[in-house]
Amino acid sequence: MPSTAGKPIPRATYRVQLNADFGFDRTAEIADYIARLGVSHLYASPYMKARPGSTHGYDIVDHNALNPELGDEGAYRRLVEALKRNGLGQILDFVPNHMGVGGADNGWWLDTLEWGPDSPYAGYFDIEWESDRRYLQGKVLVPMLGDQYGAVLESGGLELRFDAAAGCFAVWAYGTHKLPVRPGDYVMVLGTDHPDLERIGDAFANLAVAQPHQRNRAAALKAELAALVAERPDVAQAVERRLEAFRGEPGDLESWSRLDALIARQNWRVAYFKVAADDINYRRFFNINELAGLRMDEPELFDVAHRFVLRLVEDGTLDGIRIDHIDGLYDPKGYCCRLTQATGTPFYLVVEKILARHERLREDWPIDGTTGYEFANLMGGLFVDARGEEAFSRLYAGFIGDRTPFEEVVRLAKIRIMESEMASELLVLAREAARIARSSPRTADFTANILHQALKEVIARFPVYRTYVDGGKPSELDRRDIDWAVAQARRAEPGPDGSVFDFVQKLLTTDLVGEPRSGYSRQRVIRFAMRFQQYSGPVMAKGLEDTAFYRYNRLVALNEVGGHPDHFGVTVSAFHRANQDRLKGWPHAMLGSTTHDTKRGEDTRARLYALSEMPEEWERQLQAWSRLLRARRGDVEGTAPPDRNDEYLFYQLLLGAWPAGFTGADPDRLDPQAMTEFAERIVGAMTKSMREAKVRSTWASPNEAYEGAVIAFIHDALDVTRRNAFLEAFLPFQAALARAGMVNGLSQTLLKLTCPGVPDIYQGCELWNLSLVDPDNRRPVDYAQCSRLLDEVEGLLEQGEGAIATLLDRWQDGAVKLAVTRRILALRAERPDLFGRGDYTPLEATGSRAEHVVAYARCLEDQAVVVAVPRLVATLGPAPDWADTAIPLPRGVRWRNALTGAVLDGGTP
């Protein structure tokens, strides 16, 4: 953990997702609002130049330029000035692991396609140029086609074009993806029909004689060709005739043979996107072909990619950086060390890191903590009633007809990923492991196939996203996780010979080269172990978060990034211990409750947590709703789509995301247009769930018949143009659950704003956030409405005692949550040292409702704040009697309620 001396530690942050519709100027307009809210820093999504049309900014194509879709340099400066004028600092989300490729915007990638391994940028990307597949030797696979290569070629989807201004040729896929032609092959295009083109073509064909200056020579020839085309119509016409020679007739494959021959000679192989699963030879961000991994461990690339962002730190524009997907990097610790040493200006640094339940953030990383996924799940667990787990498991298994435990669901999901979408990367690892094995007679018989089986079984059971072996002595934490995974893999049935696991264990821990004269290459063993780590993380992410989380729906509020669906509830004592540990080790870690990556918004989850308190009632409602909807659709046997697991999920999504403004309404008073819009949100979330689960449908091969039937089921369930018995049964239960969810949501807000750490508010979450999985959670925020409510809240807060309580009667508009947020952020501003470094002391409630209270004190010298929130409130009813329940406070001390202004003498009930 780095020193905080001189470092600008945020008091609280406000996350904004920038896009073409909400760029620099629009963000500048809300600077006054978020300052009034009480945060200290804007926390901005990536705003470096991304691929055109990006809705999130993570597909960066230039780390050293602003995204023009967000505004120009002037607009950016206006944003910076607006922030400073309102006393706000800025934290930027930075993306070091990957870049957006495809399209025609990434200069490094295009140069790599044009020049192959000879490109000065080829080493920036993680490309395996020496592939075991002969047809990929010296080439990079470009899996951007929507159909088989031959079908796209025959249909005219690939076209040779000439850039007259630059004097260069490229093949374009669908008019979108630019694939530069090797300069040495321009001779094939220019031909011999025109003397000037023949002369220039011959010069291109002999670029090798200019070695090592062939790039400069090629640039000069391109400029000469561009000038000739611009000045002489006959040359321009000749070039057009040559292009025509590479065009065929749609439907006549043979007529495209000349273009096919040209493509075959390039440094790239354009292919059907599904080919990536088997043949991909560049590291991707997870399994996304359009995001290519970067070798950020290369010093030259590090310096180039961080030039702009570090300048913003040095000139005071940025106070902090959030590092996206730290586990994707080759050497996360080394990267963080280099980043913090790259400038003499101290800055706040947090990383996006998902921790397993038993895992701790590495204490030797020079960072301030994580972005808070673990806190969101820790806090949420307080509102899950662990006593209901057995009943919940029984009713879920009974409803869907499947009792597969979550651990097995995850294992099977990870195997599914390794055998399909990320199969190629595992094959590459297995081949490299086999090469290492052949270095010694003791292991020479371990073939690539045997090692492939062993590695797959180990990764399928890996208990963390990745380890951090880096060439030094492996830590005990890394050994523990590797040893556990290998021990579990040995039990696989059927599995490879057990001796191969001894080799794999030593390979992953680098013990193979732990002694001199091992016979193995130290560099290759270490590189393998570190590359393995870069693979195990994406497999866990895709297998756990993006597959198992959509298959196992027992209580989907637990299916959250960094969450553990098989862990039902968090004890109050465990919550306190975690907060004390954070204060001791990572006092400035970010505390998140909703992010751009969360599967469901914080208040969606808050409602669903309450289901854990009423398993019997939940089961009764489920059965009743299912009978009503299936009878309405004539499905007497209950076998039509959706399947029972998707149906079970559907009801939870409805309960969680049901708009607050609809709560308590009669079915016949619901606006049909508004309901249709809500239904479309549910359709989006359900469609994503079905495809991510990969059971009935997938992204690569959507099952249109099944998906269509599910969509019809959704619209039928939410149809208010006629009497709807389902909604009549659904709405009373939803209203009761929403009330409990409201209390849970306020409790979460208070906890996040007062626990040790830096609270982060995701855009719009100062009001109710009832969002579903992205892109639903990136819907525009109505800041005009937010500002109006804030005006009203500030007026009420000035009135003093009791005013804020009136907002509970109209909780649906979110003003009560805004009031809590505004007041506690003001308190943090009044007492920054208390919340920044004050002690954390658990307080134990007494009385008959003690188990329904979480309480603690933050103390520093003569300052103290006591925090108490209710939990498990669904079973207490809408007007709970707290009777004899109390939190003992020191006698003789007067306390002021920060929310109401009421004064209380310590020691009184």
Q: Provide the CB-side half-sphere exposure for 279 (13 A, CA).
A: 19
- Per-residue model confidence (pLDDT) at position 3: 54
Mean pLDDT for 341-355 is: 97
- Per-residue model confidence (pLDDT) at position 153: 98
891 pLDDT more than 80: no
Beta bridge mates, 886: 846
pLDDT confidence of 1, banded at 50, 70, 90?
very low
Average pLDDT, the chain: 95
Q: Provide the CB-side half-sphere exposure for 619 (13 A, CA).
A: 16
Is residue 517 packed enough to be buried (19+ CB in 10 Å), middle (13-18) or exposed (0-12)? exposed
Cα separation, 170 vs 174, whole angstroms: 13
Pair of tokens at residue 691:
């495809």
Element (H, E) at 408: helix 406-419
Residue type, 854: V
User: Do the Cβ atoms of 296 and 98 come closer than 8 Å?
Assistant: no
584 pLDDT more than 50: yes
Q: Which residue has the tokens 């979550």?
A: 406
- Per-residue model confidence (pLDDT) at position 909: 46
User: Do the Cβ atoms of 759 and 591 come closer than 8 Å?
Assistant: yes
Beta bridge mates, 169: 162
Cα separation, 81 vs 139, whole angstroms: 47
Q: Where are the alpha helices (H) located in 498-632, listed in sequence order?
A: 499-509, 522-540, 549-551, 572-585, 602-609, 615-632
Element (H, E) at 486: helix 476-489
Pairing state between β 863-870 and 853-860: antiparallel
- 97 Ramachandran zone, left/alpha/beta (phi>0; psi -120 to 50): alpha
Q: If we measure between CA atoms, which residue out of 545, 278, 533, 548 comes closest to residue 422?
A: 278
CA torsion 117→123→124→128, rounded to 10°?
70
Mean pLDDT for 412-438 is: 96
What does the angle CA 464 – CA 375 – CA 365 come to, to the nearest 5 degrees? 55
Quote the distance between the C-alpha of residue 287 and its chain's center: 13
Pair of tokens at residue 286:
């997870």
pLDDT, tens digit, for every residue of 719-758? 999 999 999 999 999 999 999 999 999 999 999 999 999 9
Cα separation, 33 vs 761, whole angstroms: 13
Cα separation, 249 vs 265, whole angstroms: 22
- Per-residue model confidence (pLDDT) at position 908: 54
Pairing state between β 284-285 and 268-272: unpaired
Do you know the residue count of the chain? Answer: 909
- Per-residue model confidence (pLDDT) at position 131: 80
DSSP 852: G
Cα separation, 731 vs 718, whole angstroms: 11
Q: Where are the alpha helices (H) located in 253-330, listed in sequence order?
A: 257-264, 276-279, 299-305, 307-314
Q: List Cβ neighbours of 803 (8 Å cut-off, separation of 6 or more).
A: 796, 797, 900
Task: Starting at the earlier edge strand, list the strands of the sheet with 158-163.
Answer: 158-163, 168-173, 177-180
Mean pLDDT for 691-695 is: 97
pLDDT, tens digit, for every residue of 855-884? 999 999 999 999 999 999 999 988 888 888
CB neighbours of residue 253 within 10 Å: 15
Element (H, E) at 653: helix 644-657
Q: Which residue has the tokens 């200006």?
A: 345
Beta bridge mates, 1: none
DSSP SS3 for 414: helix
Convert 522-548 to b/e letters by CB count within 10 Å (16 or more is b): eebbbebbbbbbbbbbbbbbbbbbbbb
Beta bridge mates, 170: 161, 180
User: Do the Cβ atoms of 853 and 887 come closer than 8 Å?
Assistant: yes
- Per-residue model confidence (pLDDT) at position 587: 97
Measured N-to-C along each axis, helices 233-245 and 214-231 cross at an angle, to the nearest 10 degrees, of 110
Cα separation, 707 vs 86, whole angstroms: 49
User: Do the Cβ atoms of 569 and 385 come closer than 8 Å?
Assistant: yes
CA distances from residue 589 to 309, 368, 576, 837 in whole angstroms, order as listed: 21, 6, 16, 12
443 pLDDT more than 90: yes
Biggest alpha carbon–alpha carbon distance for the chain: 102
Query: What is the DSSP track for 355-380?
Result: --TT----TTS-SS-B-SHHHHHHHH
Q: Which residue has the tokens 């009930």?
A: 909
Q: Percent helix, strand and coil across the chain, each rounded to 5?
A: 50, 10, 35
Cα separation, 299 vs 461, whole angstroms: 34
Cα separation, 320 vs 364, whole angstroms: 19
pLDDT confidence of 420, banded at 50, 70, 90?
very high
User: Do the Cβ atoms of 845 and 853 come closer than 8 Å?
Assistant: yes
User: Do the Cβ atoms of 47 and 95 come closer than 8 Å?
Assistant: no
Cα separation, 39 vs 899, whole angstroms: 18
CA distances from residue 79 to 379, 778, 850 in whole angstroms, order as listed: 34, 21, 48
Q: If we measure between CA atoms, which residue out of 123, 530, 125, 514 comes closest to residue 334?
A: 530
pLDDT, tens digit, for every residue of 527-574? 999 999 999 999 999 999 999 999 999 999 999 999 999 999 999 999
Pair of tokens at residue 887:
């939190």
Q: If we measure between CA atoms, which residue out of 113, 128, 654 comes closest to residue 424?
A: 128
CB neighbours of residue 380 within 10 Å: 23
Beta bridge mates, 11: none
Cα separation, 681 vs 812, whole angstroms: 19
Q: Which residue has the tokens 């000065």?
A: 120
User: Do the Cβ atoms of 41 and 761 come closer than 8 Å?
Assistant: no
- Per-residue model confidence (pLDDT) at position 152: 97
- Per-residue model confidence (pLDDT) at position 902: 85
Cα separation, 222 vs 761, whole angstroms: 52
User: Do the Cβ atoms of 460 and 415 come closer than 8 Å?
Assistant: yes
pLDDT, tens digit, for every residue of 759-789? 999 999 999 999 999 999 999 999 999 999 9
pLDDT confidence of 906, banded at 50, 70, 90?
confident
pLDDT confidence of 4, banded at 50, 70, 90?
low
372 pLDDT more than 70: yes
Cα separation, 270 vs 148, whole angstroms: 10
Mean pLDDT for 55-76 is: 97
Cα separation, 204 vs 829, whole angstroms: 66
